[in-house]
Chain A
């Protein structure tokens, strides 16, 4: 599925690379013991180190390093056993040290990959260039005081992983799928909560366009895009802008831009000429970060089954389609729910119930799978009731809705409400006879060849029996009675 912009002068292809800043899940900040939790009163979680006081020194939080290595392993990336922290120097009021401690030439994680699951069931591989650790800056607030900007340093020093992709994406959909997949992997690993609205995942989007087959053209970087939807929108409008500029005979200048979702446009933040000279150099306060194979192996041993492996297993063990499998593995909790339902049952039927009915209801109610009113074993019981013929497929949906409302086991609901499927052929025959007798013309039409009408008769019989009749049995009896 290629994404092509039809320009006045021909087709254009879009080239996208993403830099994702993911906040490391950790109790403490990257270089100080202060709390890294979200929220709190302004400047509540700030040590003298985070505030850049004289004589204060950073000390690496080993847990954050483990988290970065874990993430690198999850991205099937090269782990660099020796990496170096460097200072990125620039002045800003919410950057207390006057530099950000980051990694520059030697990041902790090197080249890796992320596999995208596209809605049509296809896959695409996006290369990861690197992952490095760095500290977050504080927050400037310009709307709290008539004449002053206020600074909140709670976030200052919080550990971030900057995950840089290769320019491998070719459509807004792929970029969206990349962010979602990355978030899924991070959540499986427990290394980042992926909450974009709390800012624990932020995206910088690099966009350029080119004629198919051409080399790369100049890119622009759109800073701080904070939702999957905005990432996709920003790419769309930025790519269109590039096409318009080129087709108008203009040039794209390398620059940093901001996306305004209200106006649906990007605008220039600073051009390359005004770009900072960050004067990176190795931070003399920190020794190079070094660990051995045993350290990596220890972390590797703690890795959970990740989405790609899970997806492959679901396809293999449960016979699911690539799409169904990818939908189920997006969140570890959803996958676990599915497996609890599917255990000892037909995997495809379980997947169908989980995806169509359960996820549908959850989405409508805005609930997480962990908050589902219907427990996995209850949904399993319902499937069992369908399988052993106790309840019809049609009534089962109704039973499911009652389970959602009343949180009772399906057997209890079926019993209480008399929803058991009628398999007694005498009762079904009587009902069929009644319907045929009441609709002699339609019955004749069938006998005269309009066999499709049989579905209508089935519907009527089902109605007559309040859905309790076994639809298979109904069809068989009707056919026998009407067609001989």
Chain B
């Protein structure tokens, strides 16, 4: 019999409803797996007691015929979502001991849908990073290894713990958050599916804020269908978040018709920078062929302001973060390092509590918002951001979806790319424009590189059109037939 932990959400759902296994069995199996793979450092906090108790409730609802969309499915929650009574760290020292008195809307929605929380996953500190190396709780190991090598690789970031947990089958699925690529890039690095929905699709209420105008929660799953199921359970209008959209929630799973005949797919010419890894280019070309073969019409498009996206992002996001992180001052919660005066206490607390990447971004953000620099940096960045969004709006007059690579490389070694922040920031070059435009972006594993590491392709959709993105994703997934698995789960 197939191991329970290798089942998708959809398969678990069927098995649970048919009574092949119970939610408690499924959960217990996952707890065992989670404990067996602690060396990955994917979880900051494990919550087996909560998991078992919710699994028991799930079994009762399954029996009563009142099961929700995610009933009994063991999921991991990125430790950026506040969870009531459960340590919430944002992978930062400064939130030491912080147990919120409230549950984020997204994790509450999942709970309402019957999902079982296994624990809180590791991430880059305050979701700032592309390697998970900035976590106060240490880096996460990617379950994948290069062929014939034992070098530990990063899972990507910032949702590195979530991606690793899903890839290592120590969670059936996980929540992620994406600000500039934090769902899609780790999904690509770990060979799983990750969807950043349209900005405003999922509530940000109760999610520790990094950059408010960009942060968006989304599902990280084994396949496209699971992403559709989980997005449906996470999303929805939330009056507690003024930026949450008051739109009806479509049946995302129903969008997976497998039929993309006549659909117009755009290929942005600006996404072929000099020196693009030929393996990435080859995979992208392959993706084009798969979609053509499925009956789609492929067109070249232009997104002329793409080259400014990364610079724009690294002004807007740090500016917002410098303000969002001001509340971590040692006064009301988390870490406090005393000092002789209020100012000393602030300085001691924040010096000890924040890691160097977070400090770097607070400094950059403070700088770009300062008197005399605001117009040249922040205001200009906002204008460029508008142009980038217009690029996409123009492109979407001619195409229904856009296909690009997810990341410029496969997973790199832990400790690599650490000395130069700019190299690290380049990881987000293909994902950041989508974030700035607030558009939905899906990454799915489409092949392996020559070293046996997974590579992802990204599909970008119109605002609120996750359905098309998922439909095309489903077709691409079928065509790619990606079945490789990391060795540790028997791949």
Contacts and interface: CB of A to CB of B under 8 A. Distances in A.
Interface string B358-394: 0000000010011100100010000000000000000
Interface stretch (B9-17, B98-106, B271-279): B98-106
Contacts of A99: 323, 326
Contacts of B82: 54-55
Given A89-B369, A91-B346, A54 B208 contact: yes
B90 interface: yes
B342 interface: yes
Given A54-B88, A57-B240, A58-B242, A281 B323 contact: yes
Interface string A17-55: 000000000000000000000000000000010011111
Contact of A151 (B101, B331, B366): B331
B246 to A, nearest CB: 12
A303 interface: no
Contact of A285 (B98, B102, B242, B325): B242
A281 B369 contact: yes
A261 interface: no
A55 B208 contact: yes
B209 A93 contact: no
A98 B323 contact: yes
A315 interface: no
Majority secondary structure of chain B interface residues (helix, strand, loop or mixed): loop
Contacts of B415: none
B295 to A, nearest CB: 40
Given A59-B240, A89-B323, A53 B88 contact: no
A476 B88 CA distance: 96
A57 B102 CA distance: 13
Given A89-B369, A93-B331, A287-B242, A55 B104 contact: yes
B206 interface: yes
B406 to A, nearest CB: 25
A361 interface: no
A281 B378 contact: yes
Contacts of B240: 57, 59
A326 interface: no
Contacts of B325: 98
A277 B101 CA distance: 34
A87 interface: yes
B471 interface: no
Given A48-B101, A53-B100, A285 B243 contact: yes
Interface string B308-346: 000000000001101101110101110000000011001
B108 to A, nearest CB: 12
B102 A91 contact: no
A277 B239 CA distance: 33
A277 B370 contact: yes
A59 B242 contact: yes
Contact of B241 (A57, A60, A93): A57
A265 to B, nearest CB: 27
B348 interface: no
A133 to B, nearest CB: 14
B332 A51 contact: yes
- How would you classify the secondary structure of chain A's contact residues: helix, strand, loop or mixed? loop
Interface residues of B, number: 44
A83 interface: no
A33 to B, nearest CB: 10
A237 B323 CA distance: 39
B327 A57 contact: no
A97 interface: yes
B28 to A, nearest CB: 31
A95 B371 CA distance: 21
A279 B362 CA distance: 13
Contacts of B327: 52-54, 96-98
Contacts of A55: 81-82, 100, 102, 104, 204-209
Q: Is the interface on chain A under 10, 10 to 19, 20 to 34, or 35 or more residues? A: 20 to 34
B213 interface: yes
B349 to A, nearest CB: 11
B95 interface: yes
A98 B333 contact: no
A284 interface: yes
B369 A93 contact: no
Interface in A264-294: 277, 279-281, 284-287
Contacts of A287: 242-243
Contacts of A286: 242-243
A99 B374 CA distance: 17
Contacts of B206: 55-56
Nearest to A55: B206
Contact of A53 (B207, B332, B342, B370): B332
B45 interface: no
Contact of B333 (A53, A87, A279): A53
B326 A89 contact: yes
B284 to A, nearest CB: 33
Contacts of B209: 54-55, 285
A366 B100 CA distance: 50
A279 B366 contact: yes
Contacts of B366: 279
A149 interface: yes
B241 A284 contact: no
Contacts of A151: 331
Given A54-B208, A55-B104, A281 B319 contact: yes
A149 B374 CA distance: 35
B210 to A, nearest CB: 11
Interface in A87-116: 87, 89, 91-93, 96-99
Given A48-B102, A98-B323, A149-B342, A60 B333 contact: no
Interface in A141-164: 149, 151
A57 B242 contact: yes
A350 B327 CA distance: 60
Contacts of B243: 284-287
Interface in B240-268: 240-243
A92 B341 CA distance: 12
B212 interface: yes
Contact of B329 (A53, A98, A285): A98
Given A55-B102, A151-B331, A279-B366, 5 more contacts: A56-B206, A59-B241, A277-B370, A281-B378, A284-B211
Interface of A: 48, 51-60, 87, 89, 91-93, 96-99, 149, 151, 277, 279-281, 284-287
13 contacts: A53-B332, A53-B333, A54-B90, A56-B206, A58-B242, A59-B242, A97-B326, A98-B323, A98-B329, A277-B371, A279-B322, A280-B374, A285-B212
7 closest Cβ contacts across the A-B interface? A98-B326, A284-B213, A279-B369, A284-B212, A52-B327, A55-B206, A54-B208
Interface of B: 81-82, 88, 90, 95, 98, 100-102, 104, 204-209, 211-213, 239-243, 319-320, 322-323, 325-327, 329, 331-333, 342-343, 346, 366, 369-371, 374, 378
